[in-house]
Structures are given as C-alpha cells and as structure tokens.
Amino acid sequence: MCRLGRIPDLADRHVIITGGSSGIGLALVRRVCGLGAKVSVVALDDEDLARLRASPPPGRHPLHLAPADVADREQAYAAIASCLERHGPADVLVTCAGVVHPGYFEELPDAVFERDMAIDYLGTLWCIRGVLPGMLERSSGTIVCISSFAGLVGVFGMGAYCPPKYAVRGLCETLRVELKPRGIHVAGVYPTDVDTPGLAAELPQHPPEQDAMQGKIRPISPEVVVDAILDGIARRRKRIYPGRWTFLLARLA
C-alpha cells in the first residue's frame, strides 16, 4: 500500500516511460517533468503522441519523444537507443505500455492473444533489455513495470489479459532476485482498474459477468498510481499496490 510522503530525487535523472502519451504513463510524464527529470517517452506514433508533442508539460529539460510499437523488438530497441542518445544512460525505466481486450475466452480471435502478449509482456521485456546494459555498467538503476491486479488473480473475461500480466509479474520477481545484488532496483505495480481513456474504451466490451464481479470496485485515478510509483521508487519497494483497495485485495489473493 502506498504511504504518501516520499518522493524520489529525480532532478536531472533520466527517466524513460513507455506508453507515456496517455493514461498512467502520461500522468507520470507530467509529474516527473515537474520534478526536474530528463524525460523520454516511448509510445505509438498516434494522436496521443501528437498532442503530447504539441503541448509538452513544463520541465527543466526538453521532453524527448521516441515513436515506436514496443511489441516490435527492433522498434523497441531503436527507440530506447534514441532515448539514451538524447538524455544519456537511463536512471529509471517505467513500462506503462499495454493493451486489454476483454471477452469470453472461446470468442476472442487468436490475434488478440498474440497482440496482448506481444505488447504487455514482450514490449516490457524488450525495453528492459534495451536499458539494462547501461544500468549494469554503472551498478545503478530502477526498473518499474506496470502489471495489474489481473497479474495476481484470475479475472473473469480476461483470458487474453491475465496471462501477459502474470508474465510481467514473473519477470519482475525473477529480475529482482537476479539484479538486486548488482545494484538495480526492480518493482512490479499491481493496480485495479484505473480511470483512463483505455478503461473507458474497455468497459463496453466486458462480459456481463465481469461487470457484476467488478462493478463495486471504483476505478482509481492515474495520479494515485503515480503517487504509489514514486513512493515505491523512493522506498525501493519490490511490489507496489496503488490505493487501499488494491492492497487489501492483493492480501486476499
């Protein structure tokens, strides 16, 4: 559970945020720009990125934008290389890029399962591999991956979403054990529903059983997740649970 009050010193530190043009990622971009960080955004070259390019948040350093589909390994590697060239070695990587396609398991097309795994899991993996050599060289760095409460427990209607989020959780746990002795902090983030444009697009696709099971849990704001991420970085937490409900549900899971 996030305890408010701790903010990491990110002034002049290079923070790379994937999926930083909307939702949680955009809220995080705005916050860390305000903290004086050198911020790089890796995101799809779409309308959201165009809006961010046209109206970047105020900050001490110019915002660097690296358009890419992180599901494509070569695009992900090239985007990370662009970030490192612009702002230097990465001090923090936060992987926010993700998609969700709810529906009955037997009705979802094969391509949905492939796309969800490619973006949510492999997109996370490629970006970590892009920044890791520099972090290992300096024996320093923080990697934060957005998983989900659906990476802790199975959720009705999320047959395409839960598996990659479980994979992200497993990746975080494995890398934490492997990289902690080498000076690198790794954390997973496990929010419930977050009030973002992505959630608004997702809700009409929910099977009715899913709505009945989740309907009483109110979405949390992206800012609550950002508060928890920053607190988790400052406290070097291995698991970050934004909001009181998330913490309690995680304990039950």
Phi, psi torsion values for 195, nearest 5 degrees: -75, 85
Which domain, by its residues, includes 134?
Answer: 14-247
The answer to whether residue 253 sits within a structural domain is no
DSSP β-bridge partners for residue 46: none
- Band (pLDDT 50/70/90 cuts) for residue 252 is low
The answer to whether residue 1 sits within a structural domain is no
Provide the domain count of the chain: 1
The answer to whether residue 7 sits within a structural domain is no
Annotated catalytic residues are 147, 161, 165
What is the per-residue pLDDT for 214?
63
Of 172, 174, 128, 169, which is closest to residue 150 (Cα–Cα)? Answer: 169
The answer to whether residue 242 sits within a structural domain is yes
Tens-place pLDDT, residues 140-173: 999 999 999 999 988 888 899 999 999 999 999 9
How many Å separate Cα 226 from the centre of its chain?
Answer: 10
Detail the DSSP E strand segments found in 68-146. 92-95, 141-146
CATH of the domain at 133: 3.40.50.720
The answer to whether residue 213 sits within a structural domain is yes
**Taking a C-beta distance cutoff of 8 angstroms, is the pair 14, 63 a contact?**
no
* Mean confidence (pLDDT) of the chain: 91
The answer to whether residue 3 sits within a structural domain is no
Query: What is the four-CA torsion angle of 148, 152, 157, 160, rounded to 10 degrees?
Result: 70
- The whole model's pTM is what? 0.92
Tens-place pLDDT, residues 69-92: 999 999 999 999 999 999 999 999
Tens-place pLDDT, residues 181-220: 999 999 999 998 887 776 556 656 677 766 656 666 777 8
The answer to whether residue 86 sits within a structural domain is yes
The answer to whether residue 122 sits within a structural domain is yes
Residue written as tokens 């009715």?
A: 208
